[in-house]
Amino acid sequence: MESTKGKLKSQEEESEILKAREAFVCINSKDKKNSLKCDAESVSGSVSQRACVYCGARVVLNPITDAYHIVHGPIGCASYTWDIRGSLSSGEEIYRNSFSTDLREKDVIFGGEKKLSAAIDEIVEKHKAKVIFIYATCIVGVIGDDIDAVCRTAEKKHNIRVIPVKSPGFAGHKSMGYKAACNALIELMGKEKPKTKDTKAVNYLGDFNLAGEAWIINNYLKEIGIKVAAKITGDGRCAEIMNAKSSSLNIVQCAGSMTYLAKRMEELYGIPYLKISFFGVEDTKLSLFKIADFIGDKAMAERVRAFVFKEEKEIEKELKYYRKRLEGKRAAIYVGGGFKAISLIKQFNDLGMETVMVGTQTGKKDDYEVIRSLCAEGTVILDDANPAELEKFMLEKGADILVGGVKERPLAYKLGVAFCDHNHERKEALCGFIGAVNFAKEIDLTINSPVWDYLRLEV
Ligand code: SF4
């Protein structure tokens, strides 16, 4: 019997980075010339971890709990449902259903517009739908169904909102799907300017309420005297999103998916935006102060100070306990966007751990600059990685844990490395002060689990 790590080490030695991928990987150093390529198309043949355009759009729009989502395409595309991209609702549950036009060969030859119109009619008749999103998939982009025209006709016929989402899977990668979803949200809000503004109301963009995070942040903001007018999109409602243009500020949690929407809302409705992050104690504190500074007065700043003091006091002892158990451990991170990676590095630093590898699917140049400034020399930084690269560097750097999403989980387990899901499959909220404790607890339980001492490959 030999350990998994030992066995796989020899496989890793054989694994090379593709020549065309070399520019997307760097070893952190103070040398500025050692730059990293990012925000580009995936390299052909590299098996990117990124999802397709349609999947990107679905991630953003699906958490709107009272909207209907029709996937115009083959049934396979529709398998990307709430069940694998969970988000919580405090009311409506209709978003947990998946509707599809189930396009077949005949529809590909003769066109799928009639089928789409019939699907809209059926949903309106059976469910009294008020807002329907229509997602274009690969085949719809190829056969050229005019979904704009179908949506316009359906809106007039039923006097409801039917909004096209321009998301054929081949039209780029996940980031383009985010953009397509944001354009659909603007379509839902309408382009006209708001008549009045609520000076104490903010919109919360880019939290998908995977495990109740949007509720935690909603309560924090309420406590300091700020109203969340629209949650976009976790636990979102169509009516509140339509009204979002009356708020005075947009706060953006997931910058990768929502900065485009925030910029469009600034152009169209004059709403400024702030990039914030509620992952980790440090970023949660900073974000609350930033919001209060922007929107509030002296009294609000005082309330934030008192609130932060109380919350930090409550979690101090627990975090100290976990720091002792985690000090010196090595973490690898591979997540969707830069904002999350940055907060995670800070959280690991706070726990006394070292980040030895960090990568994102859609990080931007600015994100990577911050990442480089936070990581030690020698940390592997990579953009749009593939499984072979992740495995190679996890082993080379001796990572004790990988933080990622559903696609990264098997990579870690295959290597006998602990794993923390920081994406749609988790059940414990990881944001705010309580989330910082939940995170430390999960990392401790996972890294220090006795299972790693017993794990062996079959020989
Ligand atoms: S790549 Fe195309 S066919 Fe595949 S899930 Fe995405 S939209 Fe559907």
Architecture of the domain spanning 4-35+327-426: 3-Layer(aba) Sandwich (3.40)
Tell whether domain 53-189 is in CATH 3.40.50.1980: yes
**Residue with the nearest Cα to atom 6 of ligand 1?**
169
Closest CA to 291 of 232, 222, 351: 222
Task: Output 147-152 pairs: Cβ under 8 A, ≥24 positions apart.
Answer: 147/72, 147/113, 147/116, 149/113, 150/113, 150/116, 150/117, 150/120
Domains 4-35+327-426 and 198-306 share a fold: yes
Spacing of C-alpha 455 from chain mean position: 32
258 by Cβ neighbours in 10 Å (0-12 / 13-18 / 19+) ranks as buried
Closest CA to 183 of 207, 155, 148: 148
Confidence (pLDDT) at 118:
98
Cβ of residue 169 lying under 6 Å from some atom of ligand 1: yes
Looking at residue 3, the DSSP 8-state letter turns out to be: B
Mutate-to-test residue for ligand 1 from 54, 134, 135, highest number of ligand atoms within 8 A of CB = 54
Strands 354-360 and 161-165: unpaired
Cβ of residue 57 lying under 6 Å from some atom of ligand 1: no
Closest CA to 288 of 225, 375, 376: 225
How does pLDDT run across 17-59, given as a tens digit for each residue? 999 999 999 999 977 667 899 999 999 889 898 989 999 999 9
Please answer whether residues 408 and 397 qualify as being in contact, where contact means their C-beta atoms are separated by less than 8 angstroms. Answer: no
Any alpha helices (H) in 327-399, and if so which ranges?
Answer: 338-350, 365-374, 387-397
H/E element holding 332? Answer: strand 330-335
CA of 58 to the centre of ligand 1 (A): 11
Confidence (pLDDT) at 181:
98
Mutate-to-test residue for ligand 1 from 137, 140, 170, highest number of ligand atoms within 8 A of CB = 137
Cα separation, 289 vs 252, in Å, equals 15
Tell whether domain 198-306 is in CATH 3.40.50.1980: yes
Confidence (pLDDT) at 7:
44
Confidence (pLDDT) at 9:
45
Cβ of residue 141 lying under 6 Å from some atom of ligand 1: no
Tokens of 99: 């509707």
Confidence (pLDDT) at 291:
95
CA of 163 to the centre of ligand 1 (A): 19
Spacing of C-alpha 82 from chain mean position: 14
Q: What is the three-class DSSP state of 169? A: coil
55 CA closest ligand 1 atom index: 6
Confidence (pLDDT) at 27:
95
Q: How far is CA 451 from CA 3, 414, 447, 455, in A?
A: 12, 14, 9, 6
Confidence (pLDDT) at 32:
66
Question: Residues in the chain with pLDDT < 50?
Answer: 1-12, 459
Cβ of residue 52 lying under 6 Å from some atom of ligand 1: yes
Confidence (pLDDT) at 459:
44
Spell out the domain ranges in the chain. 4-35+327-426, 53-189, 198-306
Tokens of 223: 């406590």
CA of 134 to the centre of ligand 1 (A): 14
CA dihedral angle for residue 406, residue 412, residue 414, residue 417, rounded to 10 degrees: -150
Closest CA to 136 of 52, 21, 262: 52
